[in-house]
Amino acid sequence: MKRVVRFTAAALRRRAGPLGRLAGWSVAEALPVLLAGHLTARAVDDGFLAGRPGTGLAWLGVLAVAVLVGAVGTNRAYARLGDVVEPFRDELAQRVVAGALQRSTSSGARPETAAVARLTHQVEIVRDTFAGLVMVVRGFLFSAGAALIGLNSLDPLVAAVVAVPLVAGLALFAAALPAMVSRQRDYVHADEQLGEAAGAAFAGHRDVVACGAQRSVAERVGRQVDRQAGAEHALARMAALRSLSLAVGGWLPLAVLLLAAPWLVRRGLTAGAVLGALVYVATGLQPALHALVQGVAGGGLRFAVTLHRILAATAPPTAPGSTPPRSPGTGPPTGSAGTPPRYPGTAPPTAPGGTLRTGPAGTARPDTPRGPRPVRAELRAVTFRYGPRARPVLDGFDLTLADGAHLAVVGPSGAGKSTLAGLLAGLLHPQAGTVLLGGTPVGAADPATLARHRVLIPQEAYVFTGTLLENLRYLHPEAPDERVDAAVHRLGLLPLVRRLGGLSATLDPGTLSAGERQLVAAARAYLSPAPLAVLDEATCHLDPVAEATVEEAFGSRPGALVVVAHRISSALRARHVLILDGGVPLHGRHDELLTRSATYRELVGHWQGRPVSAEATAT
């Protein structure tokens, strides 16, 4: 619980201003408590007992004004409460979301949506209980403080007589708190386990019935119900301790005061002062203590236990501007914060932060790559549109791909990914700018030259009737047997080769699945001597493992690789990612783009949150 106390104390320290204003209005709220006993004593002693009812009523009138001021104070205090509580909730929500994002980006796994939903629900519980806790603790401090000051003004001895049992009651309550927290924790735990067990039974009820497992599942859920009931009973038993501390701290002062009244009167205390002291205890101290004990034992315990669970399950958010943990496989960034990162195999980005600069043709040029890596493809200030009046798909777009580049192109449907693939492959020609393949402008290149420089694997894989070997050697007829065998192994084609009866078996394209056709087309492209490979959703019919095998094989193939990404895993495997979304294209590493691009975050969320059925359809 130390963690909870530290976290809450630090949060309260950060809200010193709003807390000060809350305290100011709490003073106004406590004014009637401060004056009630004193004014009652004056009304009795100077008014009613002295035969001057008018004076007595006048003092009571002053008390009525104080009550009005107190009501305004209460109203304003509630209004100020939000300034303390809402930022606290925001901090927690940020922590929960940042923690989930960091975990999913560092592991590349789907975000645990159920866990995040549970945590955000818990944040709301913490917010509500925190508000209640602030109000009852504040109410107790100001009301009890005001009552004790008032008692002291009547007679310091009376204040002492009341304070002793009050402190004893508080001490008793404080001593019982750890046990209460522990029972509350057990209760929350049992409640969650019951929820999980019942949820699992509900979700799988068809399987349960199909397997005839109703009895054992009912018993298992029943055990959780019993456990939860036991935890609730244990929690309820704590109510006895609460009542005891209330009796000692709230009722005992009244009894002590009544018993001591004759002695106090003999010491010179007036009847009005005795009555005033009783008013302080009955209308100030006792309700404040009651509210504190009930509030802390109810909402306060929920607050402590729930906040503890949130803090244990989440990491503090990284400071603004810092980089979240890197995804495995993406390698360490080679640029420092604020400077464009450099990627092996690609020219340095042409705009700060790794943005590919676009804009009017001629305003941006990619740097010539330094070092010995040959440039395989270059787009210089390329503008492309499908019709004279159509919106340009790319506008003044620059891109340089050198050996070793592994670029994933992502973006929403219709953003221009296939258009970029077509331009890189020399199938489309820009209206402005230049596309170079191996230094040759594509406009001037014949099909044989294009084939020497690049291989494009489209989504619809082309497989012709002939032997499997002929299909694989189609782009490189002289490929030696060992290279063909290596390609079959690297791309995971062996099971298909075996099923078909060897490489010399005749292929009937109609008998292959869409995924098998894609595998054949991928192996054929892999064997091609062209140094630039462009995969345009070329693995969309493969399962994720087969897709990873193909992409990893292409990733280690000499030359440059562009993958129009079908799944987020393709972007994670790539050295860097280019986002096309109809706006200014952005590129960078996966983790950088998560912080820089809302489109990318949305795409990642969409991909990871995609229903299993959609995944299954795609395979």
User: Is residue 382 a contact residue for ligand ATP (CB under 6 A)?
Assistant: no
- Pairing mode of beta strands 532-536, 560-564: parallel
User: Is residue 102 a contact residue for ligand ATP (CB under 6 A)?
Assistant: no
Query: Contacting ligand ATP (CB under 6 A), which of 222, 414, 466, 501?
Result: 414
SS3 359: coil
In the complex, the smallest distance separating the C-beta of residue 387 from ligand ATP, rounded to whole angstroms, is 7
Going by C-alpha positions, the residue among 150, 198, 175, 153 that lies closest to residue 32 is 150
DSSP character string of 562-599 = EEE-SSHHHHHHSSEEEE-SSSS-EEE-HHHHHHH-HH
Looking at 271-279, 416-424, 587-595, 607-615, which segment touches ligand ATP (CB under 6 A)? Answer: 416-424
Query: Contacting ligand ATP (CB under 6 A), which of 206, 321, 389, 413?
Result: 413
User: Is residue 386 a contact residue for ligand ATP (CB under 6 A)?
Assistant: yes
Per-residue burial over 572-609, b if 16 or more Cβ lie within 10 Å, else e, is: bbbbbbbbbbeeebbbbbbbbbbbbbebbeebbbebbe
The conformational region for residue 212 under phi > 0 = left, psi -120 to 50 = alpha, else beta, is left
Closer to ligand ATP by CB, 415 or 603: give it. Answer: 415
Query: Contacting ligand ATP (CB under 6 A), which of 127, 417, 575, 590?
Result: 417
In the complex, the smallest distance separating the C-beta of residue 190 from ligand ATP, rounded to whole angstroms, is 49
User: Is residue 541 a contact residue for ligand ATP (CB under 6 A)?
Assistant: no
Query: Using H for helix, E for strand and C for coil, what is the string for 307-328?
Result: HHHHHHHCCCCCCCCCCCCCCC
Query: Contacting ligand ATP (CB under 6 A), which of 102, 122, 129, 419?
Result: 419
Q: In what order do the strands lie in the sheet with 406-410?
A: 454-457, 532-536, 560-564, 406-410, 576-579, 586-588
User: Is residue 8 a contact residue for ligand ATP (CB under 6 A)?
Assistant: no
Closer to ligand ATP by CB, 178 or 414: give it. Answer: 414
Query: Contacting ligand ATP (CB under 6 A), which of 415, 488, 522, 594?
Result: 415
Going by C-alpha positions, the residue among 164, 162, 140 that lies closest to residue 151 is 162
Looking at 6-14, 164-172, 417-425, 441-449, which segment touches ligand ATP (CB under 6 A)? Answer: 417-425
Closer to ligand ATP by CB, 73 or 411: give it. Answer: 411
- Pairing mode of beta strands 586-588, 576-579: antiparallel
Residue 285's φ and ψ, nearest 5 degrees, are: -65, -50
In the complex, the smallest distance separating the C-beta of residue 414 from ligand ATP, rounded to whole angstroms, is 4
User: Is residue 416 a contact residue for ligand ATP (CB under 6 A)?
Assistant: yes
Going by C-alpha positions, the residue among 63, 56, 12, 16 that lies closest to residue 37 is 63
User: Is residue 566 a contact residue for ligand ATP (CB under 6 A)?
Assistant: no
| Residues paired with residue 217 on neighbouring β-strands, in sequence order | none
In the complex, the smallest distance separating the C-beta of residue 413 from ligand ATP, rounded to whole angstroms, is 4
Going by C-alpha positions, the residue among 577, 569, 530 that lies closest to residue 550 is 569
89 contacts: CB under 8 Å, gap ≥ 6: 123, 124, 126, 127, 130
In the complex, the smallest distance separating the C-beta of residue 104 from ligand ATP, rounded to whole angstroms, is 23
In the complex, the smallest distance separating the C-beta of residue 416 from ligand ATP, rounded to whole angstroms, is 4
Looking at 109-117, 210-218, 412-420, 519-527, which segment touches ligand ATP (CB under 6 A)? Answer: 412-420
Residue 174: both structure tokens together: 């404080």
In terms of Cβ atoms closer than 10 Å to its own Cβ (0-12, 13-18, 19+), residue 93 is middle
For residues 246 to 285, the per-residue mask of contacts with ligand ATP, x marking binding by CB under 6 A and - elsewhere, is ----------------------------------------
Residue 563: both structure tokens together: 């993958």
User: Is residue 418 a contact residue for ligand ATP (CB under 6 A)?
Assistant: yes
Closer to ligand ATP by CB, 102 or 419: give it. Answer: 419
In the complex, the smallest distance separating the C-beta of residue 583 from ligand ATP, rounded to whole angstroms, is 13
**How far is the C-alpha of 489 from the C-alpha of 498, rounded, in Å?**
12
Closer to ligand ATP by CB, 417 or 589: give it. Answer: 417
The conformational region for residue 466 under phi > 0 = left, psi -120 to 50 = alpha, else beta, is left
Query: What is the CB-side half-sphere exposure of residue 267 using CA atoms within 13 A?
Result: 13
For residues 392 to 411, the per-residue mask of contacts with ligand ATP, x marking binding by CB under 6 A and - elsewhere, is -x-----------------x
Closer to ligand ATP by CB, 136 or 435: give it. Answer: 435
Closer to ligand ATP by CB, 242 or 417: give it. Answer: 417
Closer to ligand ATP by CB, 388 or 510: give it. Answer: 388
In the complex, the smallest distance separating the C-beta of residue 446 from ligand ATP, rounded to whole angstroms, is 23
Which residues contact ligand ATP by CB under 6 A? 386, 393, 411, 413-419
